[in-house]
């Protein structure tokens, strides 16, 4: 396991559409373990493969804040098969550190995915877990949370990022 560098917006690798995972082998299990370690070290509640430069449909997440309660979940080749309701909530992102914004997400989702062994699952989620999954699945489609903000708020946030980068308070690459 290793802590991996996290790409920062506007790195173009964050905009790639990711390819399905087809091989469920030791290399994949090692990548999953490193991603989980990286997520906890950041610290964050989710991390998608494109955030570490891998263009595959893989993410890890864990909404638990208490260290003894932590148990990373692995989601491979996810597909949201049902969205219900709508809720606004503040989001941040390990690829856009220090910046937050309100994003509209489905309140309840059903996700079909594979685990680290390739077994297919279908789960229903709501609340924070639904938000995390929608956020991370967006990364697999080349979407960053600021893309989901209103045009005005997105432009303001982009200007703040540029200003912070010029001041040396924001790194444009990992």
Q: Does the annotation mark 124 as catalytic?
A: no
Query: Could you read off the pLDDT of 27-73 as tens digits, one per residue?
Result: 999 999 999 999 999 999 999 999 999 999 999 999 997 777 889 99
Domains of the chain: 12-166 (3.90.45.10)
CB of 174 within 8 A of CB of 11? yes
132-160 burial, b at 16+ Cβ within 10 Å, e below that, comes to bbbbbbbbbebbbbbebbeeeebeebeee
Band (pLDDT 50/70/90 cuts) for residue 172 is: confident
pLDDT at 173: 65
Helix or strand run (H / E) with residue 81: strand 73-84
Band (pLDDT 50/70/90 cuts) for residue 16 is: very high
Task: Dig out the tokens for 25 from the structure.
Answer: 């082998």
Cα(50)–Cα(14) distance, rounded to whole angstroms?
6
The length of the chain, given as a count of residues: 174
Q: Which of 64, 123, 126, 136 is catalytic?
A: 136
Q: Which of 30, 16, 18, 21 is nearest to 114 (CA)?
A: 21
- Across the range 82-88, mean pLDDT stands at 98
pLDDT at 1: 77
Query: Could you read off the pLDDT of 120-157 as tens digits, one per residue?
Result: 999 999 999 999 999 999 999 999 999 999 999 999 99
Band (pLDDT 50/70/90 cuts) for residue 174 is: low
Rounded to the nearest angstrom, the gap between the alpha carbon of residue 5 and the centroid of all alpha carbons in its chain is: 14
- Rounded to two decimals, the pTM is 0.95
- Across the range 107-130, mean pLDDT stands at 98
pLDDT at 135: 98
Cα(125)–Cα(21) distance, rounded to whole angstroms?
23
Residue 96 has pLDDT above 60, yes or no: yes
Task: Dig out the tokens for 139 from the structure.
Answer: 């990364």
Quote the mean pLDDT of the chain. Answer: 95
Cα(54)–Cα(110) distance, rounded to whole angstroms?
25
């Amino acid at each position: 396991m290793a802590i991996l560098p996290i790409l920062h917006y506007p790195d173009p690798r964050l905009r790639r559409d990711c390819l399905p995972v087809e091989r469920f082998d030791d290399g994949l299990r090692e990548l999953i373990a490193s991603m989980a370690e990286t997520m906890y070290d950041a610290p964050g509640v989710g991390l998608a493969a494109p955030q570490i430069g891998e263009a595959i449909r893989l993410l890890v997440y864990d909404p638990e804040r208490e260290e003894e309660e932590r148990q990373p979940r692995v989601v491979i080749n996810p597909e949201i098969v049902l969205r219900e309701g709508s809720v606004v909530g503040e989001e941040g992102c390990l690829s856009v550190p220090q910046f937050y914004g309100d994003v509209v997400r489905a309140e309840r989702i059903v996700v079909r995915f594979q685990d680290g062994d390739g077994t297919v699952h279908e789960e229903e989620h709501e609340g924070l877990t639904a938000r995390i999954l929608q956020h991370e699945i967006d990364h697999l489609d080349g979407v960053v949370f600021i893309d989901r903000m209103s045009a005005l708020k997105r432009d303001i946030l982009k200007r703040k990022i540029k200003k912070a980068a010029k001041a040396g308070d924001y790194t444009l690459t990992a």
